[in-house]
Amino acid sequence: MAVRKRRPKSGGKRRLEYRLLMRFTLGIIVVLLAVSLFAPDRDFSADENRTLARFPALSSQAVKDGTWFEDLNSWFSDQFAFRGAFMSMRTAGQRAMGRLENNGVIFGKEGYLLQRPAVMNSDAARQTQQAINSFAKKYPDLNTCMVLVPDCAAAFPSYLPEGAPAADQLADISSFTGGLDSSIKVVDAAAALQADGGQQVYYKTDHHWTSRGACDVFMAAAKKMDISTDGKFKVYQVSDSFQGTMASKSGVHTERDSIEVYAPENNKVQYLVDYPDLGTRTTSVYDSSKLKEKDQYTVFFGGNHPLVEIRTTADTGKNLLVFKDSYANSFVPFLIPYYDRIIMIDPRYYYEDPKAQLALNHITDVLYLYSADTLLTDTSLKDVLGGEDASESQ
Amino acid sequence: MTFTSLLFLFLFLPAVLLVNYLLRSVPVWIRQLFLLAVSLLFYAWGDIKYLPVFAMSILLNFCAGQAAVMLRTSGREMAARIALAAAAGLDIAALALFKYSSLDMPLGVSFYTFSLLSYLFDIWQGRTENKGNILTVSLYMVFFPKVISGPVIQYKDFIGQTARPRLTRDNMVSGMHLFLIGLFKKVLLADNLGTSFQSVLDLGKMAGASAWLGMVFYSLQLYFDFSGYSDMAIGLARMLGFQIDRNFHYPYMSKNIADFWRRWHISLGAWFRNYVYIPLGGNRCALPRQIINLAVVWLLTGIWHGNTLNFIAWGIWHGLLVILQKFVIKDRAEAVPGPVRILITDLLAFIGWVFFFSPNLGSALHYFGQMLGRDGLGAANGATWYILRQNILLLAAAVIGSTPLPANLKKLIYKRGGRAMSLCWAIAGALIFILCIANLVGSGYQTFLYFKF
């Protein structure tokens, strides 16, 4: 007893704190563990747009090479209790701390969630440029057009927080298009978007442009593509609950976007869309079932496909080949009344020789429609165009 | 598996603690066997490929050590020395091979090699009684709280504890408390500082002040990362009934570089002192020899941390500073006010970390150039303020957290406050634990900086 009296006063209180803390900690562990283990496993995380890991099958091979242990880790963290709530808590904590970005997404002004424009991969960009030029030289009769769309943060740096560093993508775009063969007509997408800057030309919660933005650029491109349009459209709002990739990535779910669909007012052209990868054929470029899913932008063509073939009743004698990324999905619908056939190739998923398409579909026009983020960093277009070179030289 | 993986926190750790507690009254060898088994499982979880290599080298070292001692007691000194030197040489050669070849490094090889060597040297020099028990020797080498990243506890300090781990309630609760402090340092401070540091590196071209800011971020990140990891390791060991001395003691409060190295990665310094510096003669020899001894220790320290020139440069930098301090400055700096000496020491240590975080010597020199404004963006620009603005709270927390201020404040509150204080602190601790979980769940959490060594 005498010993206990001599101990400094704070010792007892500290010991009490430690004991209470131990109980709280064990309580938290037991509850979360029980919920994690006993709640049924989830298959899919809509927020992250990916399948969640399941309990890994035990095999001696998987144990020996260590993958079983890794898979067990992924299973446990993917199926962890209240995962979504913890993610939101983390984001809230980051914002409370004063962070102006989370997971690479910048919290811009007016509710815009912005990704940093991709830094140009100079080697890849140069190779792509050369591939496009030699393709144009090889087929001088084709009417070729290039539309390179900047990121929201690049087109509208005023949405960025003060001082936020971002690559000068507009300069990258100029230097890329400046090096293209003179036969290729370049559409200044950035200028067209900026001129309409009072309107919402990019989604606030997604990395794509809105249909309004695509329409602006279509109007600018029409002249270069020898298209005459009266510029009159009926606009239908098909969703007001869109939360796109930027919302998912940042964990910020405060804004919702609406998705609009533009239809020309005076249009009598009908069309059929073929998706060879799915083996399906539809009479609409819109897949409204996608509006019930997380990534509502896939309402346009149901998302990306290696190859899409559109046949129309336009009877203009013009057939268009589009090399594209997902930005084109909301752009190509504007082109439908002006071509007999439109063949869309997404080189990221298309591994065949596009030359076959040229002859097969009597292609007269070529359009490259890309976000700068993809074209200036990706090599798949070069691979598809260059693949042809390799086969020619044999 | 790292201490900050959810699987460890929610499955492995509670299971180990529970079984270890249930085994409290069985013969001690059963508990030792249990701890050995879970330690091997823990290691396998991180690096099953190299587990056989590790197990072989434990066996080999155990036998060589025992052989050396037996040969010596039977009077065959020369043979004994050869056995010892062969084992130690092999350990060092293996470490060098893994570090300098293109092979993957086995998990924690730098750390466990030092455990192997400590066992050999300690039984050779009779620092502790050699019982020749392969179970406890193996447990020393793979004990999971420290196997991957230290502290580099020495054999003589550990082996005696295996016979009688102190599984008391006090050890359990204070060990858990220390573990949670470590978790907080690693997950909430170090990982966020890592994000801040990366945002500076991502600038590519930067104004001078941005580069300085990056250096400060990294220095604080490394401290909280590594000392947080050490706290977790020591806390874990304590919960299992083992005492490991503290590995960090407010290093950024040091008044000179020698002081810094008595407070930073204390166990590594002690290892080099015991097994390199003192055997070389330490400071009990002529001045030139003393300087050579120090130079050898610092060169080895640099080499141990990495296989590129920048780590050697970092070792030389600290070696030069220590030699300068010891033989030129001596106690002449005492006249300078304490806070100034602390700031100067921190500056010198931080400059050292630039060598440390750079992938090679060239980029370290490039970074120094950026600190002096070589990118031509001036002393500070918009990006500097952008980064500073969103990190100012974190920075303040980290700076205060590297001083004894929070601990002293808590002491003061305890002196004044009643028992309700205990409840408040415990609730605060639980909330911080929940925040740590949120950060672990929400981020593809980073791995420990020190694992790559």
**Half-sphere exposure of B330 toward its Cβ, with a 13 Å CA cutoff?**
3
What is the SS3 assignment for A100?
Answer: coil
Classify burial at A43, counting beta carbons within 10 Å of its beta carbon; exposed 0-12, middle 13-18, buried 19 or more: exposed
Chain B CB within 8 Å of residue A191 CB: no
CA-CA distance, B237 to B16, in Å (whole number)?
A: 12
Q: Is A80's CB within 8 Å of B422's CB? A: no
Q: How many domains does chain A have?
A: 2
Write out the two tokens for B50. Answer: 């190299």
Write out the two tokens for B32. Answer: 């030792």
Report in angstroms the alpha-carbon separations of B421 from A10, A20, B401: 10, 11, 21
Whether the CB-CB separation of A211 and A200 falls below 8 Å is answered with: no
Is A335 inside a domain boundary? Answer: yes
Residues A270 and A379 in one domain: yes
Q: What angle (nearest 5°) sits at the alpha carbon of residue A79, between those of residues A75 and A81? A: 145
Is A89 inside a domain boundary? Answer: no
Q: pTM to 2 decimals? A: 0.88
Name the residue with tokens 């001894």: B293
Best residue in A22, A28, A162 for a mutation probing chain B (most B CBs within 10 Å): A22
Residues A149 and A292 in one domain: yes
Chain B CB within 8 Å of residue A91 CB: yes
Quickly list DSSP for A299-361: GBTTS--SEEEEEES---S-EEEEEE-GGGGGTGGGGGGG-SEEEEE-TTT--S-THHHHHHT
CA-CA distance, B240 to A208, in Å (whole number)?
A: 54
Residues A29 and A129 in one domain: no
Q: What angle (nearest 5°) sits at the alpha carbon of residue B5, between those of residues B400 and B395? A: 20
Q: Which domain holds residue A285?
A: 120-393
CA-CA distance, B130 to B113, in Å (whole number)?
A: 20
Strands A101-102, A105-107: parallel, antiparallel or unpaired by DSSP?
antiparallel
Residues A160 and A274 in one domain: yes
Residues A381 and A281 in one domain: yes
Q: Does the pLDDT of residue A43 top 90, yes or no?
A: no
Number of Cβ pairs < 8 A linking chain A and chain B: 156
Is A163 inside a domain boundary? Answer: yes
Return the pLDDT at B445: 35
Quickly list DSSP for A359-386: HHTT--EEEEEEEHHHHTT--HHHHHHH
Backbone angles phi, psi at B379, to 5 degrees: -70, -40
Return the pLDDT at A97: 92
Is A63 inside a domain boundary? Answer: no
**Half-sphere exposure of A83 toward its Cβ, with a 13 Å CA cutoff?**
21
Whether the CB-CB separation of A235 and A260 falls below 8 Å is answered with: yes
Is A57 inside a domain boundary? Answer: no
Q: Where are the alpha helices (DSSP H) in A139-252?
A: 152-155, 169-178, 189-195, 211-224, 245-250
Query: How would you write the pLDDT of chain B (453 residues) with one tens digit per residue?
Result: 789 999 999 999 999 999 999 998 999 999 999 999 999 999 999 889 999 999 999 999 999 999 999 999 999 999 999 999 999 999 999 999 999 888 889 999 999 999 999 999 999 999 999 999 999 999 999 999 999 998 999 999 999 999 999 899 999 999 999 999 999 999 999 999 999 999 999 998 999 999 999 999 999 999 999 999 999 999 999 999 999 999 999 999 999 999 999 999 999 999 999 999 999 998 899 999 999 999 999 999 999 998 899 999 999 999 999 999 999 998 888 889 999 999 999 999 999 999 999 999 999 999 999 999 999 999 999 999 999 999 999 999 999 999 999 999 999 988 887 788 899 999 999 999 999 999 998 765 333 444 434
Is A82 inside a domain boundary? Answer: no
Residues A130 and A259 in one domain: yes
Q: Does the pLDDT of residue A4 top 50, yes or no?
A: no
Which amino acid is residue A119, in one-letter code? V
Best residue in B9, B50, B441, B447 for a mutation probing chain A (most A CBs within 10 Å): B441
State the catalytic residues of B: 305
Residues A29 and A127 in one domain: no
Q: Is A69's CB within 8 Å of B45's CB? A: yes
Is A77 inside a domain boundary? Answer: no
Q: Does the pLDDT of residue A387 top 70, yes or no?
A: no
Residues A297 and A157 in one domain: yes
Whether the CB-CB separation of A87 and B441 falls below 8 Å is answered with: yes
Backbone angles phi, psi at A26, to 5 degrees: -65, -40
Return the pLDDT at A252: 86
> A206 CB contacts (<8 Å, ≥6 apart)?
A242, A243, A244, A245, A246, A247, A257, A297
Name the residue with tokens 């911080």: B432
Residues A193 and A296 in one domain: yes
| Spatial CA neighbour of B277 closest among B290, B262, B265, B286 | B290
User: Is this complex's ipTM strictly greater than 0.85?
Assistant: yes
Categorize the per-residue pLDDT at A70 as very low, low, confident or very high, splitting at 50, 70 and 90. Answer: confident
Instruction: Name the least confident of A18-32, A47-61, B175-189.
Output: A47-61
Minimal C-alpha gap between B300 and chain A (Å): 33
Return the pLDDT at A49: 67
Write out the two tokens for A56. Answer: 């890994």
Whether the CB-CB separation of A6 and B409 falls below 8 Å is answered with: no
**Half-sphere exposure of A229 toward its Cβ, with a 13 Å CA cutoff?**
26
What is the SS3 assignment for B39?
Answer: helix
| Stronger pLDDT, A184 or A244, i.e. the higher one | A184
What is the SS3 assignment for A245?
Answer: helix
CA-CA distance, A273 to A341, in Å (whole number)?
A: 10
Return the pLDDT at B333: 87
CA-CA distance, A300 to B88, in Å (whole number)?
A: 67
- For chain B, what's the residue count? 453
Indicate the residue of B11, B391, B422 with minimum beta-carbon distance to A20: B422
Sequence-ordered strand ranges (E) for B24-126: none
Residues A201 and A306 in one domain: yes
Chain B CB within 8 Å of residue A291 CB: no
Backbone angles phi, psi at A236, to 5 degrees: -115, 130
**Helix, strand, coil % over all residues of chain A, rounded to 5:** 45, 20, 35
Which residues sit opposite A45 in a β-bridge?
A50
Is A66 inside a domain boundary? Answer: no
Residues A283 and A138 in one domain: yes
CA-CA distance, A256 to A268, in Å (whole number)?
A: 34
Return the pLDDT at B415: 86
Minimal C-alpha gap between B1 and chain A (Å): 8
| Spatial CA neighbour of B84 closest among B130, B40, B116, B48 | B116
Classify burial at B273, counting beta carbons within 10 Å of its beta carbon; exposed 0-12, middle 13-18, buried 19 or more: middle
Classify burial at B149, counting beta carbons within 10 Å of its beta carbon; exposed 0-12, middle 13-18, buried 19 or more: buried
Residues A141 and A17 in one domain: no
CA-CA distance, B7 to A74, in Å (whole number)?
A: 9
Categorize the per-residue pLDDT at A10 as very low, low, confident or very high, splitting at 50, 70 and 90. Answer: low
